[in-house]
Amino acid sequence: MTNRVFLFVCVVFCSLIATSCKSDTINTDDIMLMYERALSVDDKLSNSLLEQITQESELEYTESSISVVKPVVKVFNCINAIKDWSEVSTKEFATKVVVGLTTLYYNDKHEIQKIVVRKIDKEMLDAYYFDKNRIALVVSQQLVFHVDRNSDEFNVDQCMYVKEVNYFIEGELAVITSNIESSFSLAEYYIKEVDKKIKDKIKKLKS
């Protein structure tokens, strides 16, 4: 077991003990489940089927939205061109449902310019891009499969690949597109809903 994973397991164990003390009960099943998931983080990372999108050609946008998303695409290209970050911070997380990694990338002003969240068990990858401390772009990818990927029946070619791209103008969500269905003309109330959900998530990721 790597030192990083060992420390993570210790933190999870202590957190569960502290929570259980309030009810005078220790749920050993929860402890073992999270322990096993944490142990598998490094192995599962090396076997992940999703690669982070770094090329403009891989983004999704409609013909009618090109003029709107163009400044955001420029931010995306500039950030992905950075090779040497001032700081890169990685945090592991585990619940009963999923194990994953959150990676924060800082510029020389110690501002977060990118956050990447990989949910390993679920084959989900979210990348958040920031411009002048405001969210500019969120690229979400997921592989949808209906059998355990460790089973003999699993076939990556039968998985459904879903990609959603959220473009923000001056910190406000303006365009939502996906590889499944064009959604540039979504209702305003829905866009506001998604905007709030993303920003609430970002607060948690930064905390």
- The predicted-structure confidence for 1-32, as pLDDT tens digits, reads as follows 445 444 444 544 555 555 555 455 545 555 44
Angle at 18 between CA 14 and CA 20, to 5 degrees: 115
What's CA 105's distance to the chain center, in Å?
13
* Of the candidates 94, 87, 130, 138, the residue with the CA atom closest to the CA atom of residue 109: 87
In a domain, 59, yes or no: yes
**Domain membership flag for residue 92:** yes
Residue 120, SS3 per DSSP = coil
Query: Which pLDDT score is estimated for 153?
Result: 76
Q: Select from 155, 96, 138, 152 the least CA-distant residue to 121.
A: 96
- Residues whose CB falls within 8 Å of the CB of residue 138, separated by 6 or more in sequence, listed in order: 126, 127, 128, 129, 165, 166, 168, 198
In a domain, 44, yes or no: no
Please give the distance of CA 101 from its chain centroid, rounded to a whole number: 8
Same-domain pairing of 77 and 119: yes
The beta-carbon contacts of 26-31 under 8 Å, at least 24 apart in sequence, are 30/96
Say yes or no to pLDDT of 150 above 90: no
Same domain membership, residue 141 and residue 72: yes
Q: Based on the fold, state whether residues 125 and 106 are members of the same structural domain.
A: yes
Mean pLDDT, range 130-140, rounded to an integer: 96
- Same domain, residue pair 87 and 21: no
62-74 average pLDDT score = 87
Banded pLDDT at 71 (limits 50, 70, 90)? very high
Examine residue 6 and state whether it is found in any structural domain, yes or no. yes
Q: Mean pLDDT lowest for which of 65-79, 125-139, 173-187?
A: 173-187
| 111 and 133 in a common domain | yes
Q: Examine the domain organization and report whether 22 and 58 are in the same domain.
A: no
Indicate whether 45 belongs to any domain: no
In a domain, 200, yes or no: yes
Question: Is 96 found in the same domain as 177?
Answer: yes
pTM of the predicted model over 0.85: no
Residue 33 belongs to domain spanning: 1-39
Residues 32 and 79 in one domain: no
Report pLDDT for 149: 67
Task: Please indicate, yes or no, whether residues 73 and 160 belong to a single structural domain of this protein.
Answer: yes
Does residue 194 register a pLDDT over 70? yes
Q: Are 68 and 88 in contact (CB under 8 A)?
A: no
Same domain for 65 and 153: yes
Residues 19 and 96 in one domain: no
Asked if the structure places residue 120 within a domain, the reply is yes
**Would residue 145 count as lying in a domain?**
yes
Higher pLDDT residue, 33 or 98?
98
Together in a domain, 30 and 106: no
Task: Quote the number of domains for the chain.
Answer: 2
